């Protein structure tokens, strides 16, 4: 049975932890930018975030349906997908090699992962980005009835509130289920691209099929989603809602950033450990 030390160990190796902290720090930088943008958007117009989102969705739909923009959108999408897939494939192929093995030094492990898995991860990432682009566009169309019901409630009140709540619950549930299926499928694909070497390992990998592990993966990812969204909500409140004295604002923001990096480092490690334990043949002894 195949053994992956960093998946089995309670505490990750220092090389895994160091690389994960760097990745988390980069993610947290964009996280803070997005949180501040979201806070700024909520202050536009009437201050109603739902009306602002509704207006933005309408502007996106107008832009997408304008015939003169079609070629520009297609060309830009192709360029963006390829431009993102190459560095992501490079990082993932090296990082997963570092995460799963420890026989070689850090640099050697990264190079070995890139050499053997870059093309596989590059292909998977292209398909993932295309899938998520289409999924995002469909989500924009899916939420339009929900925001239409919200607008009716704001204008007329009454029973439109129940219509909005019903559509909101149904829409969010469907979107989350479709997103979960896509995520589980691609996590399985990324994990299975690390091919077992022996017949015993191949047999065990076949037993860990997507159908047999789907509900276990769904439950685990659902719990991780709740944890992640709870932290993000608290972070949004701290960044945009709390009234912090100007003198202490820099120290406060620095503290939030450190907390965000610490949380996302732990979250990435938990996510990867759970993913590999679910879809890879792991020696748990």
* Structural domain spans, the chain: 5-279
Q: Which of 13-17, 64-68, 269-273 has the lowest mean pLDDT?
A: 64-68
DSSP the chain: ----HHHH-SS--HHHHHHHHHHHHHHHHHHHHHHHHHHHHTTSTTS-HHHHHHHHHHHHHHHHH-GGGHHHHHHHHHHHHHHHHHHHHHHHHHHHHHHH--SS-HHHHHHHHHHHHHHHHHHHHHHHHHHHHHHHHHHHHHHHHHHHHHHHHHHH-TTHHHHHHHHHHHHHHHHHHHHHHHHHHHHHHHHHTS---SHHHHHHHHHS-HHHHHHHHHHHHHHHHHHHHHHHHHHHIIIIIS---HHHHHHHHHHHHHHHHHHHHHHHHHHHHHHHHHHS-----
* pLDDT tens sequence across 233-274: 888 788 776 655 554 677 777 888 889 899 999 999 999 889
pLDDT (mean) for 49-58: 63
The whole-number pLDDT of residue 122 equals 92
In order of 19, 153, 264, the CA distances from 22 in angstroms are 5, 46, 11
Please state, rounded to an integer, the average pLDDT across all residues of the chain: 77
pLDDT surpasses 60 at 46: no
**Which of 63-72, 74-83, 122-131, 234-243 has the highest average model confidence (pLDDT)?**
122-131
The whole-number pLDDT of residue 10 equals 45
The whole-number pLDDT of residue 169 equals 92
* pLDDT tens sequence across 74-94: 777 788 888 888 888 888 888
What predicted TM-score, i.e. pTM, was given to this entire model? Answer: 0.78
The whole-number pLDDT of residue 247 equals 46
């Amino acid at each position: 049975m195949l053994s992956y030390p960093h998946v089995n160990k309670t505490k990750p190796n220092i090389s895994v932890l160091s690389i994960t902290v760097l990745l988390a720090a980069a993610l947290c930088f964009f996280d803070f930018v997005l949180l501040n943008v979201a806070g700024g958007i909520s202050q536009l117009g009437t201050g109603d975030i739902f009306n602002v989102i509704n207006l933005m969705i309408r502007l996106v739909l107008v832009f997408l349906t304008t015939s003169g923009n079609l070629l520009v959108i297609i060309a830009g999408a192709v360029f963006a997908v390829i431009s993102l897939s190459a560095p992501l494939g490079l990082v993932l192929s090296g990082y997963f090699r570092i995460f799963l093995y420890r026989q070689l030094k850090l640099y050697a492990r990264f190079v070995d992962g890139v050499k053997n898995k870059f093309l596989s991860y590059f292909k998977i990432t292209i398909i993932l980005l295309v899938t998520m682009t289409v999924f995002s566009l469909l989500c924009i169309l899916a939420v339009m009835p929900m925001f239409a019901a919200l607008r009716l409630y704001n204008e007329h009140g009454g029973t439109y509130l129940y219509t909005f709540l019903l559509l909101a619950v149904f829409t969010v549930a469907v979107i989350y289920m479709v997103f979960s299926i896509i995520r589980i499928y691609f996590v399985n694909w990324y994990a299975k691209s690390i091919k077992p070497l022996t017949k015993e390992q191949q047999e065990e990998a076949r037993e860990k099929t997507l159908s047999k592990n789907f509900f276990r993966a769904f439950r685990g990812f659902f719990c991780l989603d709740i944890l992640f969204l709870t932290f993000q909500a608290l972070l949004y409140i701290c960044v945009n809602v709390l009234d912090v004295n100007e003198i202490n604002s820099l120290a406060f923001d620095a503290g939030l950033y450190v907390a965000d990096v610490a949380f996302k480092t732990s979250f990435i490690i938990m996510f990867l450990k759970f993913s590999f334990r679910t879809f890879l043949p792991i020696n748990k002894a």
